[in-house]
Structure 1
Amino acid sequence: MDLSRRQLLKGSLISASALALPQLTMALGSGAKYDYHITAEPGLFDIVPGGTTPGLGFNSQFPAPVIRCRQGQEVAIKFTNKLDEPTTIHWHGLRIPIEMDGVPFLSQPPIQPGESFIYRFTPPDAGTFWYHPHMNSLVQLGKGLTGVIIVEETEALPFDADVVIGLKDWRLNQDGSFLPLSIPRNAARGGTLGNVKTINGMIKPVIEVPAGGAIRARFANMDNSRTYGLSFKDYPAVVLAEDGNAIEAPYPLVKRKTGSGMRLDVGFIAPSNVGDEVIVYDQKGRRGYYEICRFRCIEGSKKPATKIPKLPVNPIKAPDLSKAKKINLVFEWAGALSPTKKDGSVDHVFWTINKRAWEGMMGGKIPAPIATLELGKSYIINLHNATPHHHPIHLHGHTFTVIKSNKRPITPYHTDTILLAKNERAQIAFVADNPGRWMFHCHVVEHFKTGLMGYITVA
């Protein structure tokens, strides 16, 4: 369906059991200089049965409003900070100007309580992306400040349903109050996992889809730590896009590991009988299938679909591998080493990039980049995960091509986040065509908060 920004924005065709994602209306009025207006503010969420969670939400809601815009068309989003601390919004996966990237001090001053900022950009790529703060990330993301932004293709595609599936864990007591969001012992390993898994803010929801319809399911992992093994088990489905980038040759979905910050667009034809269901699993190992949600067929208004529409590939510049300069980045584990500050408190540092831990930044104090790239040149970056844990490594402002790995066969594909297995060596390549200072970090929040973050300069 071709959705205008002047219409109510709906994340998907959802079950009748109150699963509808929040709606977002265009900020109308003569002389309006923005298309949407969103806020960050405290809210009360119904996550666990019988309990209330005092979280943080965009428009004080969870799930957050799904923002929809269109490839090649400018969008402006007025953001107002109603928290009691500074914040920003990062538009994860979007190739936009550095001034709009939402990293405090590196790309913009922090947005203070009560202040507003207008994010204005023209997305060159269609796909599934997401948005979140880049300040006090452990708390602000952990308590609910995450949302999906969808960039529609220039031409509407003939899917019968377009479903947003936001994956997020919560660390909650039975009454809905928060448990500690981070445990240092876990931060030094795979990350502190949540104890309540949700899809669009609900536990094992049922999502209605038209019987026999061609379905586009947009999975977005907005969790602080967890990696999902997304699987439909025995039901036929294909991967249409990885991390917002359409695949030239869609392939069958068996199990796809999806780390924090990563997205997966899956296409399937729903069963033709009303009441039939398709279950989505988080697969662990070969035989461990754990349901996270299910699709239930309702009466459709069209004839059963015979094929799944193919997505157009985004306009990503191909790097010149024969002339590309090579850069080596080694991600290492500092283990239990915890330097002590002058006041005796522990300064947890567990991770490094090229033997250097991220030391943080503030106005007037920006650390040196981990690499400086020449604008317009091609680069190959050799990534070495010399740790015993997985890391979803994310680059801001660019889309790269994964070309090689020592752990798995690679058919080159475009992405902004690569999930590196323990001891994996992988090669990525891209054209440094977006000037600015761009964060390059693990998207397990505890990992980048304890060292596994840096930035590259493109100039």
Structure 2
Amino acid sequence: MKNYPVGRRNLLRSALFGSGALAMNSLFPAWAKTGTHGLASKDRTVLSGESLALTIARKDFQLDGRVGHAVTANGTLPAPLIRLKEGQRFRMAVTNHLNEDTSIHWHGLLVPPAMDGVPGISFPGIRPGETFVYDFPVRQSGTYWYHSHSGLQEQQGHYGPIVIDPAGADPVPYEREHVIVLSDWSFLHPHEIVGLLKKQGGFFNRGKQALTSPNRVSSQTNKSFAQMRMDPTDISDVSAAAYTFLMNGHSPDENWTGLFHAGERVRLRLINASAMSIYNFRIPGLPLTIVSVDGQNVRPVETDEFQISPAETYDMIVTPAGEQAYTIVAESIDRTGMARGTLAPRMGMSAAIPPLRERPTLKMVDMGMGGGSGHQMGGHNMGAMATKPEASMPHGSGHAGHDTPELPEKAPDAASHGGGMGHSMRDPKIAGFELNPGVDMISPMPADRTGYPGLGLENVGHRVLTYRDLEAATPNVDTRPPERQLDIHLTGNMERFMWSFDGKKLSENPDPIRFARNERVRVKLINDTMMTHPIHLHGHFFEIVNGKPPARQPKKHTLTVQPGGTASFDLTADEPGDWAFHCHLLLHMHAGMMRVVTVRPLEGEA
């Protein structure tokens, strides 16, 4: 696949397709073209101001000499960068030239429900030939993005970045900035991909273990996986067998390049706009100082690598030194491929491309068979832990002495009521809902894994960021203790590619999750599957319960829940309306892993 590091064959292919790629280069907005000097340079494709317009249409997209059909905004992939100012009014007229409905969701922006852009909730969608005007005040600053919430158009190229400058001085100093949008592209139509996964859950998993594999998991663990009809190598539903991993719309061979001057503080605004791909991001030889997550400032923390899921954004400061180039590496979580680019002082330079690292395998801890949140327990083979007494730790226990407090679980609509320990893998009592063809496992001992770096990152030999490292830059306004706890189970059947919350997909569970306006709730996400799920709540920010004091818990809009583990957030339900709540793996949401959250005033309240 063309996702692999560039070798002699790929270099020859790039040369052969070079003229064609140049001919198609108009499909890239200026900020995404290779050789960009950054966002400070004059770029007419950046949309800025109060009255803007987008046209959604189909257009051919060329990648490494092949042509596919994309859904584009103003004719580009990725879509134009929208740059706004906190406090301004934003009006965007969106015209649909497709032969199907479309929409735009302003991912992470605090907007009125009717402007959120999710068809079927509080917005009708934009029909073919029609124009819809989004109109709302800009209430925040930071790095965000926008994408279609109609069908599977997001997978086909309907996504773009948003940068919102603060009303006052930016607390993060820098001399140059680049936007880096990660995505995944396939020449297969997304409905074809869904169909193949429905026929065979591991269809795109081309790395299944042989009995003689030197890295095969222990016999006891392998037996457990066999009993569950699961494959320890089934990490990503869709791999490089179908995807080319893109950086600003460029394949690894095309090598998107961002320029810098030595010694500059360069702000990288990283957005994972992928449909299904989780990446491990690093720039070998260059420390990364994280300054913002999901558009919210955090206390600067230096690291060398971190995992980023679809829907998440991370801002970082890097200070490249000397006249050398640096390779930007976004390696897929299953390590079947990578998105790759370069930071360099001038065009024509490149650095060594690291080879793909050894492919990781799922372990007993990823089945929810005990294990803590940190490096010590989260990454080791846990094949024997289900039978060892010392494996029985408090449900939801944390890392380094931090426990996740358990709160009353009374919830008017909740089907789940938490769980104890020692239950069978398939015992429905542990979750409070009945097993069905759409649920093939329930984690018996799920533990808080917010301190886990991510699959394959346990022993890489350098610093890896976890949610436990994040701390809000300014104190949170609402630090009230939560009034209640709501447990939500992330459920599915990997073999049949069925995904749900609390054992039911959206069409089977139409009743919304209800919050009273300004209610303070702790939501505990319990991952009963062996997949990593990024869970996104529209219309709100929440604080991750990560061991920090309530005033310093980091705010996010998307929370990645590790396999077989739990993650909790504290929510102030202060945005009245109906909001989408879903897994941001697009095909999981499409399969039913979605609910509606409704926030309403209490009876008699204005």
Q: 2:260: which partner in 1?
A: 209
Question: Structure 2 vs 1, CA of residues 330 and 295 (structure 1 numbering), >3 Å: closer, same or farther?
Answer: same
The answer to whether the 8 Å contact 1:317/1:431 transfers is: no
Question: Structure 2 vs 1, CA of residues 187 and 244 (structure 1 numbering), >3 Å: closer, same or farther?
Answer: farther
TM-score, normalised via structure 2 length = 0.61
Shift of 1:56: 0.9
Does 2:100 align with 1:52? no
What CA distance in whole angstroms lies between the structure 1 residues aligned with 2:476 and 2:292? Answer: 14
User: Which of 356, 370, 382 pairs up with 2:504?
Assistant: 356
Does 2:247 align with 1:199? yes
| Paired amino acid for 1:324 | E
Q: 1:100: which partner in 2?
A: 115
Does 2:579 align with 1:438? yes
Question: Structure 2 vs 1, CA of residues 85 and 69 (structure 1 numbering), >3 Å: closer, same or farther?
Answer: same
Q: The residue matched to 2:83 in structure 1 has which SS?
A: strand
Q: Larger helix proportion, structure 1 or 2?
A: 2
Question: Structure 2 vs 1, CA of residues 254 and 161 (structure 1 numbering), >3 Å: closer, same or farther?
Answer: same
Q: Deviation string for 1:248-299 (max 9, x for gaps)? A: x21112221111111111111121x33x112222357899995611100249
Q: 1:5: which partner in 2?
A: none
User: Which of 45, 59, 69 pairs up with 1:23?
Assistant: 45
User: Which of 226, 235, 245 pairs up with 2:286?
Assistant: 235
What CA distance in whole angstroms lies between the structure 1 residues aligned with 2:339 and 2:310? Answer: 19
What CA distance in whole angstroms lies between the structure 2 residues aligned with 1:52 and 1:179? Answer: 18
Shift of 1:324: 2.5
Does 2:527 align with 1:373? no
| Paired amino acid for 1:219 | L
Question: Structure 2 vs 1, CA of residues 325 and 319 (structure 1 numbering), >3 Å: closer, same or farther?
Answer: farther
User: Which of 132, 146, 160 pairs up with 1:147?
Assistant: 160
What CA distance in whole angstroms lies between the structure 2 residues aligned with 1:24 and 1:196? Answer: 26
Question: Structure 2 vs 1, CA of residues 427 and 312 (structure 1 numbering), >3 Å: closer, same or farther?
Answer: closer
Question: Structure 2 vs 1, CA of residues 52 and 18 (structure 1 numbering), >3 Å: closer, same or farther?
Answer: farther
Q: Over aligned residue pairs, what C-alpha RMSD do you find? A: 3.2
The answer to whether the 8 Å contact 1:12/1:161 transfers is: no
Shift of 1:198: 1.2
- 1:51-450 aligned at under 5 Å gives the runs 51-136=66-151, 138=152, 140-157=153-170, 158-172=173-187, 180-182=192-194, 183-184=196-197, 185-186=200-201, 190-193=236-239, 194-203=242-251, 204-247=255-298, 249-271=299-321, 273-274=322-323, 276-283=324-331, 292-298=340-346, 317-321=477-481, 323-337=482-496, 350-359=498-507, 367-369=510-512, 371-404=513-546, 412-450=553-591
Q: The residue matched to 1:52 in structure 2 has which SS?
A: strand
The answer to whether the 8 Å contact 1:316/1:399 transfers is: no
Q: The residue matched to 1:106 in structure 2 has which SS?
A: coil
What CA distance in whole angstroms lies between the structure 2 residues aligned with 1:69 and 1:314? Answer: 22
The answer to whether the 8 Å contact 2:246/2:339 transfers is: no
What CA distance in whole angstroms lies between the structure 2 residues aligned with 1:99 and 1:390? Answer: 31
What CA distance in whole angstroms lies between the structure 1 residues aligned with 2:274 and 2:494? Answer: 23
What CA distance in whole angstroms lies between the structure 2 residues aligned with 1:205 and 1:103? Answer: 32
For structure 1, the residue ranges without an aligned partner over 5 or more in a row are 1-8, 28-33, 300-310, 338-348, 361-365, 406-410
Sequence identity (%): 25
The answer to whether the 8 Å contact 2:48/2:82 transfers is: no
What CA distance in whole angstroms lies between the structure 2 residues aligned with 1:312 and 1:397? Answer: 19
Question: Structure 2 vs 1, CA of residues 425 and 16 (structure 1 numbering), >3 Å: closer, same or farther?
Answer: closer
| Paired amino acid for 1:442 | C
Shift of 1:98: 0.6
| Paired amino acid for 1:150 | V
What CA distance in whole angstroms lies between the structure 2 residues aligned with 1:101 and 1:41? Answer: 21
Shift of 1:205: 1.5
The answer to whether the 8 Å contact 1:319/1:378 transfers is: no
Question: Structure 2 vs 1, CA of residues 232 and 255 (structure 1 numbering), >3 Å: closer, same or farther?
Answer: same
What CA distance in whole angstroms lies between the structure 2 residues aligned with 1:68 and 1:218? Answer: 13
Shift of 1:314: 7.5
Shift of 1:233: 3.1
What CA distance in whole angstroms lies between the structure 2 residues aligned with 1:393 and 1:152? Answer: 26
| Paired amino acid for 2:177 | D
What CA distance in whole angstroms lies between the structure 1 residues aligned with 2:591 and 2:278? Answer: 19
Q: The residue matched to 2:150 in structure 1 has which SS?
A: coil
Shift of 1:178: 8.6
The answer to whether the 8 Å contact 2:84/2:165 transfers is: yes
Q: Larger strand proportion, structure 1 or 2?
A: 1
